[in-house]
Structure 1
């Protein structure tokens, strides 16, 4: 029997546990908002749906969803539109900053020319038309032609009056002419013209040929017929004259051409009524779906036979097949960018959806907070029946979980502190506690930081209050303190407790970072110590005084996120000693990809179980999996990732769930030693090579763990496929 056959049988008989897949060691992943829609396009087999942030695809046959982001090769974030070119099997993605990606087979080609070009005017890309391996981009400047063979910008046609910029809303072609629907009306040009960059080679059709003057919203080619959208009516070009093709009492939002038919997305008023119609080349409606079918705020739709797929203002993707019920498709994700506080507790990452602006003004954000556990995002906000009361507790920007009973404490920037019990009962603390009102805003109780210490005391940042540091002690009593530095607006925010029970407090508005040691007793302030960290050597060595976030890792290091990058404080025990303690500036990078969605970091949190570092930026939430994790007293739920190890995999293999600092041996089935290492905390890593640095062969390998008594136990099997 061949080894491949034996391996196949082994995979059949060995029990495999299906678990949420962690990213490999040293790799990034994105946690982007896919709830709202933005644009949609399709190939024969796949639907591509864009959210305002990124996009995903869904296979029409098996419904497999693939998410696309910077980790998977995209060069930017924030999408204006996207379109698929069936003739060349290429997907063009136009970003909000005018950057362009072209996806072809397994590659992503970037065309950054428009983004980089210093041009006055509107560079947004509004529409895309493909022809002869070129993309004709309708922009706020005019028509920009991209060469999709060389992946570069070929020409820019400024076709406004006098050669000025003009917004182009749509573009198409027939066998002879180019057609541009602009804010100055419909313009045409001979394709054979030698210089289409000269506006004088473009003819203004509007105002002639039975076509009124004024802006045109789009123009498309439907089975050889040129259809123009103007004043919410569709006009057709018949031998040089423009006649009515289709009209109704709806506002037409978008036109898409599929299989020689026109798919029109429509609404009345502020989405008081909506529908999607499929119109054939003769101007006859063949299909209608509307609000009664569940399409309440459609933005754009495509059709494929009896199937209609639509993206919605509030729903990423909807699908209706014939007379079947409408299907809602939203990849599990958080709402918004989630730039609030993050903590790891109860095997989950808790993330706040609330926010403040740079000036720390209220945003009246009612997103609430989210739990991320086993790769699933679960919301806790007023949209959930049990939490409707949270409608009045807006701007939840920080969270803490009581380690004794898993009670949730959610801090509202303006509406106090919410205490939520596991039975969903709740209490809100404001004037009924030591929490103080904001100076100059006496009805506001701003909670801007929360954290439990090792003694189960809850420490609270009370932004703007005269006593801006508060503690709810484990016995239920309260104390309040005033920071001893001159701090603009009494601004305090995130809190982290280090391994020697010191409190690290972010002081926003350019005030740096504070460290507080209350000494032997919270109630005795005589032995209290404070230190302030600021920019520059000798002052703490932060990259900037604008501190956005802090976190503590498994080694006890304090990570500091600023508007100029990350700093790490590794000597917390020496903060108040004679030698002192300054921050270091590390670099974390994977294949020249720093992983950040933005260089401006807002918050950092680390999951001690998995070693995953979560980082929020102004463009969204991402995470990086590091090597250190929290160990336990026994080996339980040992997880090897990836397993099986696929062909051509050259990354790091993680073995987690181990006892602290265990000795880990990788052996062949007959016990022959392949590799040996020691776990870092509760996790060991292996590069897939033997002790001589050679790649191992296809086969099944055992993971043996020895504790401090040298007792060995087989805890896992690893399958390698070369």
Structure 2
């Protein structure tokens, strides 16, 4: 008797419906890089890095689907639209699958493959979807999984390598009576589709040896593409004949008896018999690189790396660009906001401040809801040289049309009225090109910068003695020698810069702690780690912030500290010590953000702190740090990643922007900067309707305004002094109980009592 041993992988229904965040969040994703394209229901579906957009062929309307609508924010590998079931299926590099039901405005998250421990994490990539009747055949790096689109449940999984081993399946195709599988290194395999035992690897036979990218049916014929970029016609019983040779092939798929072959530079359409129907090898006005391609209704949809989709009719090379408004890239590194606008750049450095490999990317500006992008090529054309690795942004607080950006390689970039106007380097400023001790060229490594209250821009250059630099409002540069306080030769980088109302300049370092400079006395001081030396948790200081009480918040790669008295920092024998924030959690005292890698700290209009971390998302804490008001991660918010590179706050609107390594999103915050008068005071939501459980915001306040709320009979239920331009009321009577339905009076007076205002709030329980 012969026994056949088979490996069976059982998937259970592990899925959930993703939450949408459209009421309080906004996504600003880049849709330039198109990974895959599908179509159905008179729409084109385009997958970018980690979001999707749709293009309505009838109305030309664009719609986006991102983490705001409930997607994960992970990297997409392939998509498929099922017109029979009205479902968009999205596959990810991690093995995650998400299903968008547009008619119900819901996202179903399917984690079966993602969570399956018997499959190595690096073999879960979803390569391809192939729909046949109600079943979706999922080609993955471990084998083939079957998913029922009617019941939204997994069926069997086929491990079809030798002995039932896991092998990389690039595509599947149904050509009755067989199911075919193209493999990356184990040839073309087939089995009888109606077999009751497809999980038995012995049911699968190899009909052609080789390494293959895909297999597609064209009419009654089968075509395969190998990893050497040659396309063959396949005899279902074995044997192939060469159909054509192509360049670097990036896509291979058939629809409606048209086979589309896309290379990195060209796209081709073939009908049965491998008759070329159309091709595009260049598009005037676009210097593109293709990542995907799709032919539909005699139009090529070319998925590019940097230009979105280029739609080119057959027998033409004139393109219509299909691209939602957005920034250039998702890898935003530094941002800064002023009322109504946001600036973004995309330089990258490691945690050890290594700029290699260099990044050559442009700049993006969001203004009143519209993006203006400055491509990298425009910077090169303007200055005749590379302007790479832009790592910080600073908007002039006295002139919102003037913006500066530091480069960790090339100097200081000045932008005016959305146009780059100057690049300050060794040719037109005191900045110096630096050579490392090993002889490698470090160029001009600038990082942090900040304006003081006199309009001077302070910034740092690493690896030189005169590493602290001031640019006056008149455009004059003055350098300060920092070699007395720090060993420049052993210092990887000088980091963030912040100035105080007294005119002090504080700047961090990568390996020497916190440094401070008093320009009036030309005096330095520094603190490092350990008690008695300044009590920093780490000598690597990445983020600094000065709050409205002139306290300096210090973010390191191993925790948080606060310098409560910046004035004493430069006093003789002051024994300066930064302090941890001690909070009580579950009755146990502990240090706030203990050993967290902190990448940014931003003070909002209410003097609360937004704190970014390298792997734990965002913390929003009260002005003294004793209360965590909000905590956002990718699991409970639209953040596409817990790696937060930067934060910026629009103090006029309260909008809070989060730059991550996988995209940019914003939260509709309520803390605003103080106004000069009470002319624009308002409360929202108003009226407060049944079921509302949040806070009412009273906005448009002056600094230190007194806010009292009473019922219609004059009974006081709330009182607070504003630190910024707004205060929050939880609709309780001093936190004891929810107030009853009725009209409540908001009585506001300025700090000097010279101006008053009365507003009303309607509460409906």
TM-score, with normalisation over the residues of structure 2? 0.73
2:199 aligned partner: 197
Q: Residue 216 of structure 2 corresponds to which residue in structure 1? A: 220
Residue matched to 1:603:
646
CA contact (8 A) 1:419 1:426 kept: yes
Distance 1:65 1:675 in 2: 46
User: Counterpart in 2 of 1:299?
Assistant: 291
Partner of 2:514: 514
CA distance in 1, matches of 2:680, 2:279: 52
2:407 to 412, 417, 427: 412
Residue aligning to 1:129: 130
Distance 1:414 1:165 in 2: 46
2:471 corresponds to 1:478: no
- Residue aligned with 2:495, SS: coil
CA 1:131 to 1:693, structure 2 compared with 1: closer, same or farther past 3 Å? farther
For residue 609 of structure 1, give the secondary structure of its aligned residue in structure 2: coil
Q: Return the match for 1:529 from 525, 528, 532.
A: 525
Q: Which residue pairs with 1:44 in the alignment? A: 41
Partner of 2:267: 275
Q: Structure 2, unaligned stretches of length 5 or more?
A: 1-20, 582-591, 594-618, 620-629
Contact 1:614 1:621 in 2 (8 A): yes
Q: Give the C-alpha shift of residue 358 in structure 1.
A: 4.1
The count of corresponding residues between Structure 1 and Structure 2 is 673
The 5-angstrom pairing of residues 439-478 of structure 1 reads 440=436, 444-473=443-472, 476-478=476-478
- Residue 363 of structure 1: CA displacement? 4.0
Q: CA deviation at 1:444?
A: 1.6
Contact 2:504–2:516, Cα closer than 8 Å, also in 1: yes
Q: How do 1:80-479 residues align onto structure 2 when only pairs under 5 Å count?
A: 80-104=77-101, 105-116=104-115, 117=117, 119-120=119-120, 122-131=123-132, 133-146=134-147, 154-183=155-184, 184-206=186-208, 213-221=209-217, 226-229=222-225, 232-233=230-231, 235=233, 240=237, 253-258=250-255, 260-267=256-263, 271=265, 274-277=266-269, 279-280=270-271, 291-292=282-283, 296-305=288-297, 308-320=300-312, 326-345=319-338, 347-359=340-352, 360-380=354-374, 382-384=376-378, 388-389=382-383, 391-405=385-399, 406-421=401-416, 425-430=421-426, 433-438=429-434, 440=436, 444-473=443-472, 476-479=476-479
Q: Do the aligned partners of 1:368 and 1:390 also contact (CA within 8 Å) in 2?
A: no
CA distance in 1, matches of 2:88, 2:468: 53
Q: Is the 8 A contact 1:460 1:471 kept in 2?
A: yes
Instruction: Give 1:713 shift.
Output: 6.1
Q: Please give the alpha-carbon distance, in whole angstroms, between the structure 1 residues aligned to 2:701 and 2:499.
A: 26
For the 8 Å contact 2:252–2:262, the answer to whether it is kept is: no
Output the CA distance in 1 between the equivalents of 2:81 and 2:231.
26
Equivalents in 2 of 1:59, 1:561: separation in Å? 47
RMSD over aligned CA atoms reads 4.7
CA distance in structure 2 between the partners assigned to 1:649 and 1:127 by the alignment: 44
Q: Give the secondary-structure state (helix, strand or coil) at the position aligned to 2:167.
A: coil
SS of alignment partner, residue 42 of structure 1:
strand
Deviations 1:581-638 (Å, cap 9, x if unpaired)?
A: 3243264325962654333333333333233333333333344444322122135777
Counterpart contact for 2:740–2:763, Cα < 8 Å: no
Deviation (angstroms), 1:97: 2.6
When residues 537 and 37 of structure 1 are mapped into structure 2, their CA distance, relative to the original with a 3 A threshold, is: farther
Quote the Cα distance in structure 2 between the aligned partners of 1:537 and 1:92. Answer: 58
CA contact (8 A) 1:217 1:229 kept: yes
| Distance in structure 2 (CA, Å) of the matches to 1:150 and 1:570 | 59
Out of 182-191 and 636-645, give the one that drifted further: 636-645
Specify whether residues 165 and 264 from structure 1 end up closer, same or farther in structure 2 by C-alpha distance, changes over 3 A only. same
Deviation at 1:414, TM superposition (A): 2.3
Distance of aligned partners of 1:81 and 1:647 in 2 relative to their CA distance in 1, 3 Å threshold: farther
Corresponding residue number in structure 2 for 1:631 = 674
Cα 1:546–1:374 shift into 2, 3 Å: farther
Contact residue 39 and residue 311 of structure 1 kept, 8 A:
yes
Offset from partner CA, 1:292-345 (integer Å, 9 cap, x none): 477854433445545554322222223357899632122222223444333334
Query: Compared with structure 1, are the counterparts of its residues 710 and 558 closer, same or farther at alpha carbon in structure 2 (3 Å cutoff)?
Result: same
Contact 1:459 1:472 in 2 (8 A): yes
User: Which segment is superposed worse, 171-180 or 642-651?
Assistant: 642-651
Shift of 1:346: 6.2
Quickly say closer, same or farther: Cα 1:550–1:52, change in 2 above 3 A.
farther
Per-residue deviation, residues 92-134 of structure 1 (Å, max 9, x unmatched): 2222233222223333333334334364564322111234654
Does structure 1 conserve the Cα–Cα contact (< 8 Å) formed by 2:333 and 2:660?
no
Q: Using the alignment, how far apart are the partners of 1:155 and 1:309 within structure 2?
A: 34
The answer as to whether partners of 1:559 and 1:569 remain within 8 angstroms in 2 is: yes
Whole-Å Cα distance in 1 between the matches of residues 761 and 280 of structure 2? 51
Following superposition, the deviation at residue 44 of structure 1 comes to: 0.2
Q: Give me the whole-angstrom Cα distance separating, in 2, the residues matched to 1:718 and 1:326.
A: 54
Give the equivalent residue in structure 2 for 1:8: none
Q: 1:557, CA displacement in angstroms?
A: 6.2
CA shift, 1:646, in A, is 11
2:532 and 2:575 in contact (8 A); partners too: no
Structure 2 CA distance, aligned partners of 1:215 and 1:417?
50
Displacement after TM superposition at 1:179 (Å): 1.0
Contact residue 357 and residue 363 of structure 1 kept, 8 A? no
Displacement after TM superposition at 1:512 (Å) = 6.8
> Which secondary structure does the structure 1 equivalent of 2:373 belong to?
strand
How far apart are residue 454 of structure 1 and its match? 1.2
Which shifted more, 424-433 or 325-334? 424-433
- Residue 181 of structure 1: how far off its partner (Å): 1.2
CA deviations on 1:179-203 (whole Å, 9 max, x unpaired) are 1011322211123434433322101
Give secondary structure in 1 for the equivalent of 2:67. Answer: coil
Distance 2:67 2:412 in 1: 36
TM-score, normalised relative to structure 1: 0.77
Distance 1:539 1:477, change over 3 A: closer
Deviations 1:362-390 (A, max 9, x none): 44433243333323332345444896216
User: Which residue of 1 is the match for residue 610 of structure 2?
Assistant: none
